[in-house]
Amino acid sequence: MLKGKSSKSALIQITPKQNRNLFLKGMFLMELLEGEREIIVEHVDAILKNYRNDRENLIPILQEVQGRLGYLPGLAMEKIAKAINIPAVDVFGLATFYNQFRLNPPGKHQIKVCMGTACYMVGGQIALDSFERRLNIKEGETTCDRNFSLERVACVGCCSIAPVVVVDDIIEGKVTPTRVDGIMLSFETDSQKKKNEKEKCEEEGNQLWVQFLQKDAMKN
Amino acid sequence: MGAVSTERCYEKLKSKATEKIESLKQKPVVWIGTATCGKAAGAVKIREAFKEEITGKGLDARVIEVGCMGYCYAEPLAIISKPGFPTLCYGHLDEGLVKRLVEDFLVNDDPCFEFAMVALESNDFFPTFTDFPRGVYEQKIILEHCGFIDPEDIDHYIDREGYAALAKVLTMKPEEVLAEIKASNLRGRGGAGFPAGTKWEACKKAKGSVKYVICNADEGDPGAFMDRSILESNPHQVIEGLVICAYAVGATGGYFYIRSEYPQAIRRVKTALQQAREKGLLGNSILGSSFDFDIEVFQGSGAFVCGEGTALVNSMEGKMGIPEHRPPRLSTSGFRGKPTVLNNVKTFCYVPVIMRKGADWFKSTGTPSSPGTAVFALVGKVANAGLVEVPMGTTLRQLIYDVGEGIPGEKKFKAVQIGGPSGGCLPKSALDVPIDFDSLQEAGAMMGSGGLVVLDEDDCMVGIARYFLEFTQKESCGKCTFCRLGTKHMLEILNDITKGQENELASLNILWELAEDIKAGSLCNLGKTAPNPVLTTLRYFRDEYEAHIKEGCCPALTCKHLITYFIAPEKCSKLCNVCVGSCPTEAIYTREDGLKAIGQEKCVKCNNCLKACPPQYNAVVKLSPPELLKEKESELK
């Protein structure tokens, strides 16, 4: 699950095959990026200091860890289990029992499709299908570049503008596949724009100036 | 001695609060509904726009955030009160309208009646709530203040007789309080309708000096948002009810168990608790009496089964939320093994009003066996979606056609799904069933926590049953075999039916059998009620199941695998290209003769072309069963 060295102390050992099974359930454990390990340890230690280390505080601790890191890395769960002095499998069991906890890092942009009754009835599934098609992932997964993650959520409480999609905390009402395309396009153009602007500043800026001077000279 | 000081303590709080509210009323105030539903509709933008306009014009007016009034269909909403004018409510706001309201009403004294929805108090200019059918049928006990007071300022609640019941209760004996609640016959609003008084009495009689009171706000039904709305709009009424309950049963600690999916409710409850502590309404010697009590907030982690009492307690103890066998009931051995009272948000909400106005007053509303009101989140195919509170005994017809103003778009009513995933679907013939715990149970549905979804002719009943079963199947904790595997088996059968892969009518009998077994073989109410949506749809809409199985046809044209999209050539305009552009998979092409057609192998049935086709043509149609397509195509040739 985690790269290399920690395996001796690791209480949760997940074989590649198990990982593959989890992957199929949308609960795959992604490999840690460089430097991520230190960040996790630092945050978890800080959080554990704030709580009395008994089982009753387990859920609040997990909630805070997820609040800070965005998900529950295996490493964090092991550390928490040790601190509370319970088997790591109990922590892992709890994290997989409750819907709130996620074991894979969220994407940079989170897309949540509402599947409350009202949304389902007027095409929530259609919106979800469209996102799955566009992003090429299933619900509960994150794209490989960690840019987008897709989730289905229970009612977000805006049944009057169903079907609803929450994109990075912005609520989009009455979503159709066309709107899905629009949302994705706006992400693409945004990143393209940023790229272009950067390039423009660095290179084209000078060229444009040169062109302008040339034109000016021709007129005269 | 104690009684006198308690009353004096309260009066001091009250006069301070009244003074504050009176001074507030001297100036124009804009009240904006910013519960989650309002925010979703853009209330934050509206609030900023109001603030900007008001400061830009240099006006002396305040902008206050309130909760939800229950008129979700008209969000974002604002109420404007200005001395000398009737207080008016405006719906469907946008930034332009905000500009106009500030300019015309706040600056120039023209209340813009053309945009107003309703007036809050009777006047000579504009109709009030009671002049609309909805206002006639609605009777608000627990939603009375929701949307009209600032939930983040305790003085607003105190000014409206808030905490008066607590002051009164503290001068009474706990036995007297309990007797009053028992006399009121208040039934728990969590769904099952267990009498609250009986529960409290058992807890009071239980041995032990440490007892707990927990408020269950783990509202997990998809499509229900009553508890959220109450906690976001008027948290103090729930807190007051909780404290009164604690006094009656002799509890030492209190908890709110709120879903973590409701961040705003959690924030507002925490603020409210803090303010109550500052005013001496929580903590040591409440209102100068000898009663000590405090409340904490626990955040649930998103498991539907945790609405069940024993599962909720397990989850608070840091375990998986798995229900336990009862007895022992929570009232004798609950949280940390101590006697515990667990009631729903709405149940606690009634308590202060009952204590203030008396059990007889409470019983004058509703039916003898189910006194009081029922709160529903009215959603689905209904014109005026929102939060409604009607007396028990109101019929479904009144609720849907008078309060909700019927079904939009001249569609036909098909069914009403009541009680969420544990409830059932009732057909047209059941529209005159009165709403109360017992009548609904008889009809095959249940009160549930109060989600009410209206379905019209475009909704497939098999699909709806499948949707709810999928939900309960996912949320099943896995303890009981029947619930864990039985629901899965049922779901597989339903999946096959909606995909047209089931050709045997006998499968309906298997469904029925499984449903009965799951009901009998499950420990908690999640399992016991999970088959209800399937059972009621089988009972009332068997013909739809049969159509799926025998003809491979979905009568409501919604089951994706049983329909195809087709562009009717006689209606299609050769000059229009909208559908081609709308198709996300480029399945639609232009034929040689200029007409449009759908390449079925590419079509993902996203419904986009049907929506895109201009209404004057309406050329895209759905066909079910898909075999009809061949007929149509052969006609073409």
User: What sign does the dihedral B229-A113-B408-B33 (CA atoms) show?
Assistant: positive
Contact A118 B299 (CB under 8 A): no
> Which residues in chain A have Cβ-Cβ distances shorter than 8 Å to B584?
130, 133, 177-178, 180-181
- Residue B208: phi, psi to the nearest 5? 125, 145
DSSP string, B443-511: HT---TTSEEEEEETTS-HHHHHHHHHHHHHHH--S-SHIIIIIHHHHHHHHHHHHHT----THHHHHH
Helix (H, G, I), strand (E, B) or coil at B253: strand
> Which residues in chain A have Cβ-Cβ distances shorter than 8 Å to B451?
117
For residue B352, cis peptide bond before it (omega within 30 degrees of 0)? no
Q: Which domains does chain A have, with CATH numbers?
A: 4-97 (no CATH), 109-195 (3.40.30.10)
Beta-bridged to residue B296, according to DSSP, are B255
Beta-bridged to residue A148, according to DSSP, are A109
Contact A159 B385 (CB under 8 A): yes
Whole-number Å distance between alpha carbons of B196 and B216: 13
Summarize pLDDT for A106-122 with one digit per residue, the tens.
888 989 998 888 888 88
Spacing of C-alpha B227 from chain mean position: 7
CB B454 within 8 A of CB B406: no
Any residues with CB less than 8 A from the CB of B339 and at least 6 apart, and which?
A: B202, B203, B206, B207, B208, B211, B212, B249, B330, B331, B332, B333
Helix (H, G, I), strand (E, B) or coil at B60: coil
- CA-nearest of B302, B558, B560, B70 to A155 is B302
What are the CA-CA distances from residue B260 to residues A68, A86, B265, B554 (Å)?
A: 15, 24, 9, 38
Which runs of E-coded beta strand occur in B304-419?
A: 340-344, 373-380, 386-391, 413-418
Residue A138, pLDDT > 90, answer no
Summarize pLDDT for B307-355 with one digit per residue, the tens.
899 999 999 999 999 999 988 999 999 999 999 999 999 999 999 999 9
> Which residues in chain A have Cβ-Cβ distances shorter than 8 Å to B72?
158-160
> Which residues in chain A have Cβ-Cβ distances shorter than 8 Å to B319?
55, 94
Which residue of chain A is at minimal alpha-carbon distance from B455? A121
pLDDT at B380: 85
Distance of residue B36 Cα from the nearest chain A Cα, in angstroms: 7
ipTM rounded to 2 decimals: 0.87
> Which residues in chain A have Cβ-Cβ distances shorter than 8 Å to B228?
157
Tell me B429's DSSP state: G
Q: What's the average pLDDT block by block, 10 residues per block, for chain B (637 residues)?
A: 79 95 92 87 91 93 92 89 91 93 92 90 86 88 93 95 94 95 93 91 94 92 86 96 96 94 92 96 93 95 89 94 91 94 95 96 94 91 89 94 90 91 90 92 82 90 93 92 95 95 93 95 92 94 95 92 92 89 89 90 89 91 90 79
Any residues with CB less than 8 A from the CB of B160 and at least 6 apart, and which?
A: B145, B149
Across the interface, which of B302, B317, B582 has its CB nearest the CB of A178? B582
Residue A50, pLDDT > 80, answer yes
Which residue of chain B is at minimal alpha-carbon distance from A154? B222
Any residues with CB less than 8 A from the CB of A95 and at least 6 apart, and which?
A: A62, A72, A77, A101, A103
DSSP string, A64-129: HHHHHHSS--HHHHHHHHHHHTS-HHHHHHHHHHSTT--SSPPPSEEEEEE-SHHHHHTTHHHHHH
Question: If you average pLDDT over every residue of chain A, what do you get?
Answer: 79
Q: Which domains does chain B have, with CATH numbers?
A: 20-128 (3.40.30.10), 162-363 (3.40.50.11540), 373-459 (3.10.20.600), 462-551 (1.20.1440.230), 563-636 (3.30.70.20)
Whole-number Å distance between alpha carbons of B352 and B358: 10
Beta-bridged to residue B434, according to DSSP, are B395
Structural Rg of chain B based on CA atoms:
27
Summarize pLDDT for B558-613 with one digit per residue, the tens.
999 999 999 999 999 888 889 998 888 889 999 888 899 999 999 988 888 998 89
Across the interface, which of A54, A171, A177 has its CB nearest the CB of B584? A177
- Residue B567: phi, psi to the nearest 5? -100, 115
> Which residues in chain A have Cβ-Cβ distances shorter than 8 Å to B420?
117
Across the interface, which of A157, A173, A178 has its CB nearest the CB of B225? A157
**Position A30 confidence tier, pLDDT thresholds 50, 70, 90:** low
Contact B301 A117 (CB under 8 A): no
Whole-number Å distance between alpha carbons of B244 and B601: 65
Least confident of A149-153, A169-173, A213-217, B457-461: A213-217
pLDDT at A218: 64
> Which residues in chain B have Cβ-Cβ distances shorter than 8 Å to A167?
none
CB B62 within 8 A of CB B27: yes
**What strand order describes the sheet that includes B78-81?**
B62-66, B29-33, B78-81, B88-90, B116-119
CA torsion angle B360 B364 B367 B371 (round to 10): -50
pLDDT at A31: 66
pLDDT at B37: 81
Residue A11, pLDDT > 60, answer no
**Position A3 confidence tier, pLDDT thresholds 50, 70, 90:** very low
Contact A117 B321 (CB under 8 A): no
Helix (H, G, I), strand (E, B) or coil at B96: helix
Which residues of B, range 403-422, sit inside 8 Å of A by Cβ? 417, 420
Contact B379 A117 (CB under 8 A): yes
Whole-number Å distance between alpha carbons of B111 and B130: 20
Contact B379 A159 (CB under 8 A): yes
Whole-number Å distance between alpha carbons of B102 and B63: 12
Residue whose pair of structure tokens reads 């098909």 in the numeric block: B414
Residue A20, pLDDT > 60, answer no
Residue A2, pLDDT > 50, answer no
Distance of residue A98 Cα from the nearest chain B Cα, in angstroms: 5
For residue B76, cis peptide bond before it (omega within 30 degrees of 0)? yes
Q: Is B611 on the interface with A (CB under 8 A)?
A: yes
More confident residue, A214 or A147: A147
Which residue of chain A is at minimal alpha-carbon distance from B71? A160
**Position A18 confidence tier, pLDDT thresholds 50, 70, 90:** low
Quickly count: other Cβ atoms within 10 Å of residue A82's Cβ. Answer: 15
